[in-house]
A = this chain, B = another copy of it.
Amino acid sequence: MAGSALHDDVLEALGRRIVGGELAPGTVLTLDSVDSEYDVSRSVSREAVRVLASMGLVASRRRVGVTVLPRTAWQVFDPRVIRWRLDSGDRLGQLRSLGELRSGLEPVAAALAAQRATPEQCGALTAAAGDMVVHGRSGDLEAFLAADVVFHRVLLEASGNEMLAAMGDVVAEVLAGRTHHDLMPAHPKHEAVDLHERVARAVRAGDAAAARAAMQAIIDEATDAMADPPDGEE
């Protein structure tokens, strides 16, 4: 990291400690303690705390200090909060929440994409689905994952809804987390790959209902897979 890392270092460190549970809700820090602990000047700790406050992780009051807030106050859609939760002991809970979210959003995105996707996006979608077929057969899980991520990202963007599009990064992290934590079978199921192709076809044809249904099936399949881990882990 070339640029100024100081401020972000403190932000990351404190954020992880809070999200990870080391700093329980109700804990009070003082700016001075942050200064000395991370050996930075007040402006740096001040700005880090200010950003944490804007994320709902802490609240600072005069004469009291900086209080760690309970989960209910967190901005759970903030990408950093999501990332910290995925990296912490709360990974499974976060994946469950995100899965439920996806089960609502992605079918809608598919339906909208069927109505709004540009020819380029249709092409990219078809290409990504094709890549999934190829890498699914060859068993190259990383390449498969990459194609999967591209597929979902393009689809969300093609929805023409900037909020759905913003979920692209999150979905990418979910997919990556799934492959990297043994929640995926060694060979992607043929049905799952087939469903992706079906979504691409439906979007190309402008068939919103079919796109929604196929995407719904993808999510359902993924949910079932997570409920029954391939190697019985956890």
Q: Using CB atoms and an 8 Å cutoff, list the residues of chain A in contact with chain B.
A: 3, 7, 43, 46-47, 50-51, 54-55, 61-62, 71-72, 75-79, 97-98, 100-101, 103-109, 112, 159, 161-166
Q: A54-B54, A166-B77 are in contact. Are A100 and B161 (CB under 8 A)?
A: yes
Residues of B within 8 A of A51 (CB): 50-51, 54
- Would you call A163 and B97 a contact (CB within 8 A)? yes
- A52 and chain B: residue at smallest CB distance: B54
Residues of B within 8 A of A47 (CB): 46-47, 50
Q: A51-B51, A163-B77 are in contact. Are A101 and B97 (CB under 8 A)?
A: no
- Would you call B101 and A163 a contact (CB within 8 A)? yes
A62 to B50, CA, bound (A): 21
A51 to B199, CA, bound (A): 39
- Would you call B98 and A104 a contact (CB within 8 A)? no
- Would you call A108 and B112 a contact (CB within 8 A)? no
Residues of B within 8 A of A76 (CB): 162-163, 166
- Would you call A100 and B104 a contact (CB within 8 A)? no
In the A-B complex, the 10 residue pairs with the closest CB atoms: A104-B108, A77-B77, A104-B104, A104-B105, A47-B50, A51-B54, A97-B163, A76-B163, A76-B166, A97-B161
Interface centre among A3, A78, A101, A165 (most CB of B within 10 A): A101
Residues of B within 8 A of A108 (CB): 100-101, 103-104
